[in-house]
Chain A
Amino acid sequence: MIKVYGMSSPIEPTQSVGILVPLLGIAAFTIPLFSLKIRRKEFYDYYTLLFSLIAFTLTLYNTWLVWSRGKPILYAYGGWIPPLGISYEVDMFSAILGLLSALVMLLITIYSIWYTRGMDGYEWYYTLLLGLETGLLGCIYTGDVFNLFVMIEVLAISAYGLVAFYRSRIQAVEAAIKYAFIGAAATTLYFLAVVFIYASFGSLNIADIAIKSREVYRAFTNIFSDGVFGNIFVASATSIALALWAFTFKAAVFPNHFWLPDAHPEAPTPVSAALSGLVVNIGAYATIRFLYTLFGVDSILTTFGYRDFVMWVLLILGIVSGVIGALLMIIQDDVKRLLAYSTISHMGLIFMGIAIGFSNIPEYIVNIGLTATLYHIINHSIGKALLFLAVGILIWASGTRSLSRMAGIGKLYPLVTVSIVVGFLQLMGFPICGGFFSKLLLYEAYVAAGMIIPALMVVVISAISVVAYIKVIYTIWIRPPIVAYERKSGIALALAIVLFMALMCIMLGLAAPIVIQWLTDSVVSSLSKEGVENYINAFLEFYREALKHLS
């Protein structure tokens, strides 16, 4: 019974989950081979565009698949039964984040065609960009804590490379060094956390650990992973502490935020959009997976109130990074740096949303908080990517990143300015855009939970950041110009992308009731108690079917 043969036929037709990440990885790393023979830039443009489009189609299909089946879908690599081999498990929450990542990456790829014209080294740029997308989707789809480590590293190495892309600039190389050193230390800490988890639970599969961390399901443990090494609670607590250090680093939450304002602005503009809009989400996503799916409110982590303690820590860190990001944003003159501080502030808000899962708060309120978190992640991703891309056009037109020298340039590009204004309205939470509704939902969740101070802090953080946003809008649009600029042409492609994203921001706001309803259903079906049961049951069903297949 110890020996397990590869299964000859698939149990469920879910190859669309399994093929996506390896396909993108292979696509990324064949580009250097092509570069030996092919010089034409158009080839690389269309190649990357093709694979981004495939990724978007597959994530859309996966979302539809999960939605129509009403339960998570599972793919086991190499035909190994899940707790033994690597498996990818997609529930509604990861499906939505995967769809968001693929959509924004598709738009960023199209923008990159405009951005990389006349640039050297585009083949390396596209290699790393596809590598980044591989890492993003891998982190989101994986159902295995060690595979999460590998995918975080794939994501991180691509990100370090892209930050150091302009390698003749001291600032870029220095930012990349800072990012890479602390990033490597953080992911090693996460590796230690994985080791602790494996030592105590004898398994690396997320669903399997979720079963074992909950006393209720003890009867269902399987024959393959039964070893318990040392005290299970101490090991879980240590691994959570180590893993959260790594995740807050990825998400740039307060004590670990220092690398972001250096690293994000130094990257090429489309990459800044991807880093600020999507890569930071991975930290938030992994934190939610660990604190709700792996160690939920009914798990072993609630012993001695440890899970509540973790929630308090995350809540305080979220508030502090929200305030610090908003305050430091006001004094910035470099416009990309200002947007980077805005990312820190918004990640603070997102972590405040994650931290609502205290054990004394009724579950429906926790679900509202998590819905607000997911909605805010979506709003922030699209709004921040829009702002970086739109500001990138103005930076190209003016040749500077300094806000005071860019004064008045917006009048030459009215459509770009309009989309910048929409992007800022999205971030500051103006009622027509989606950002307003997600902040309102977060506020309502904390009021319903009876925690007035966090609820007020949501308002305070938004109010402080409005100052900086108004400053940018005023400078770019209204202030009289210092330098006389002339209007350049040839921005049609970039402009189309930016306008499309602005339209999406407004649509997210106008369709708020529908979107919130949909997101609430998704959160309930993947992160509530019942949702985690779904996650575990999908795994157990797969496991039993596979065993039947073997015998």
Chain B
Amino acid sequence: MVINVNVYLFTILILCMFVNLGISLYGILSRPSLIKKIIALTIFSDTANTFAIIIGYRSWPNPYHPLRPPVLTVIEPSRGDIEYFTLVAVDPLPQALVLTAIVIGLAIILFLVFLTLQMYRLCGTTDVRKIAKLRRW
């Protein structure tokens, strides 16, 4: 029986990411501390970003047939060189998407940290259960 190492590792990686997404979603929804919620949200968006980065890979390195790195080494590349280059080079667009998503995530995390600080100033706690009790008063 031939085990395809690439497929095996790829599957484990993807499964781990989905488990990670699940755990961090649980953290956002049911941890009582606002700080821990923020940490869970960071993990959640980072997992999504890593997922986007993985999508960009065109060709997975294979231990039996190692790839040449996607670098054009001649000044005037032939058609075959360019075809090979586009086959193995990483797709840059998901990285651009992730860059945008990270910047937006930074803004939201900062805003949430500010709100948590404001909440701590107003209530003296960052525990959502205690805040809910305080609000009822």
A240–chain B nearest beta-carbon distance, Å: 17
CA distance A180 to B51 in the complex (A): 23
The reply to whether A157 and B107 form a contact with Cβ atoms under 8 Å apart is yes
CA distance A199 to B53 in the complex (A): 11
Question: Which one of A150, A164, A170, A181 contacts B28 once the chains associate, using CB atoms below 8 Å?
Answer: A181
CA distance A150 to B104 in the complex (A): 8
Note all chain A residues with C-beta closer than 8 A to B41: 181, 184-185
CA distance A78 to B41 in the complex (A): 34
CA distance A177 to B37 in the complex (A): 11
Which among B34, B86, B112 has the greatest number of chain A C-beta atoms within 10 A?
A: B112
Which residues 91-137 of B have a CB within 8 angstroms of A? 91, 93-94, 97, 100-101, 104-105, 107-108, 111-112, 115-116, 118-119, 122-123, 131-132, 134-135
B48 within 8 A of partner (CB): yes
CA distance A219 to B91 in the complex (A): 24
When C-beta atoms are compared, the residue in chain B nearest to A154 turns out to be: B104
The reply to whether B122 and A168 form a contact with Cβ atoms under 8 Å apart is yes
The reply to whether A195 and B51 form a contact with Cβ atoms under 8 Å apart is yes
A229 within 8 A of partner (CB): yes
Residue total for B at the interface (Cβ-Cβ under 8 A): 36
B98–chain A nearest beta-carbon distance, Å: 9
B88 within 8 A of partner (CB): no
The reply to whether A171 and B135 form a contact with Cβ atoms under 8 Å apart is yes
The reply to whether B104 and A177 form a contact with Cβ atoms under 8 Å apart is no
The reply to whether B116 and A188 form a contact with Cβ atoms under 8 Å apart is no
Question: Which one of A164, A174, A189, A198 contacts B55 once the chains associate, using CB atoms below 8 Å?
Answer: A198
The reply to whether A157 and B101 form a contact with Cβ atoms under 8 Å apart is no
B52 within 8 A of partner (CB): yes
Question: Taking A173-B119, A174-B131 as contacts, is the C-beta distance between A195 and B52 under 8 angstroms?
Answer: yes
B11–chain A nearest beta-carbon distance, Å: 12
Note all chain A residues with C-beta closer than 8 A to B25: 185
The reply to whether B104 and A173 form a contact with Cβ atoms under 8 Å apart is no
The reply to whether A180 and B108 form a contact with Cβ atoms under 8 Å apart is yes
Which residues 316-360 of A have a CB within 8 angstroms of B? none
The reply to whether B135 and A170 form a contact with Cβ atoms under 8 Å apart is yes
B45 within 8 A of partner (CB): yes
The reply to whether A195 and B94 form a contact with Cβ atoms under 8 Å apart is yes
The reply to whether A195 and B119 form a contact with Cβ atoms under 8 Å apart is no
The reply to whether A184 and B108 form a contact with Cβ atoms under 8 Å apart is yes
Note all chain A residues with C-beta closer than 8 A to B107: 153, 157
B19–chain A nearest beta-carbon distance, Å: 15
Which residues 125-181 of A have a CB within 8 angstroms of B? 146, 149-150, 153, 157, 160-161, 164, 167-168, 170-171, 173-174, 176-177, 180-181
When C-beta atoms are compared, the residue in chain B nearest to A171 turns out to be: B135
A97 within 8 A of partner (CB): no
Note all chain B residues with C-beta closer than 8 A to A174: 119, 131-132, 135
When C-beta atoms are compared, the residue in chain B nearest to A84 turns out to be: B93
Note all chain B residues with C-beta closer than 8 A to A443: none
The reply to whether B111 and A195 form a contact with Cβ atoms under 8 Å apart is no
The reply to whether B55 and A199 form a contact with Cβ atoms under 8 Å apart is yes
Note all chain B residues with C-beta closer than 8 A to A182: 28
The reply to whether A195 and B28 form a contact with Cβ atoms under 8 Å apart is no
The reply to whether B48 and A191 form a contact with Cβ atoms under 8 Å apart is yes
When C-beta atoms are compared, the residue in chain B nearest to A149 turns out to be: B101
Note all chain B residues with C-beta closer than 8 A to A149: 101
CA distance A168 to B44 in the complex (A): 30
A122–chain B nearest beta-carbon distance, Å: 20
CA distance A317 to B30 in the complex (A): 24
Note all chain A residues with C-beta closer than 8 A to B134: 170
Note all chain A residues with C-beta closer than 8 A to B101: 149, 191
The reply to whether B94 and A177 form a contact with Cβ atoms under 8 Å apart is no
CA distance A168 to B116 in the complex (A): 13
Which among A2, A150, A191 has the greatest number of chain B C-beta atoms within 10 A?
A: A191
CA distance A184 to B29 in the complex (A): 12
Note all chain A residues with C-beta closer than 8 A to B58: 227
CA distance A2 to B72 in the complex (A): 15
The 5 closest A-B CB pairs, nearest first, are A199-B55, A195-B52, A153-B104, A184-B108, A188-B45
Interface residues of A (CB under 8 A from B): 2, 146, 149-150, 153, 157, 160-161, 164, 167-168, 170-171, 173-174, 176-177, 180-182, 184-185, 188-189, 191-192, 194-195, 198-199, 204, 227, 229
Beyond the given pairs A150-B104, A192-B51, 20 more chain A to chain B contacts, judged by CB atoms under 8 angstroms and listed by A's residue number, are: A153-B104, A153-B107, A161-B111, A164-B115, A167-B118, A170-B122, A170-B123, A170-B134, A174-B132, A180-B108, A180-B112, A184-B45, A184-B108, A184-B112, A185-B25, A191-B101, A192-B48, A195-B55, A195-B97, A198-B94
Interface residues of B (CB under 8 A from A): 25, 28, 34, 37, 41, 44-45, 48, 51-52, 55, 58, 82, 86, 91, 93-94, 97, 100-101, 104-105, 107-108, 111-112, 115-116, 118-119, 122-123, 131-132, 134-135
A-B contact pairs, 24 of them (CB 8 A): A2-B82, A146-B100, A149-B101, A153-B104, A157-B104, A157-B108, A157-B111, A160-B111, A170-B119, A170-B122, A171-B135, A174-B119, A176-B115, A177-B112, A180-B112, A184-B41, A185-B28, A185-B44, A188-B105, A191-B97, A192-B51, A195-B51, A198-B94, A227-B91
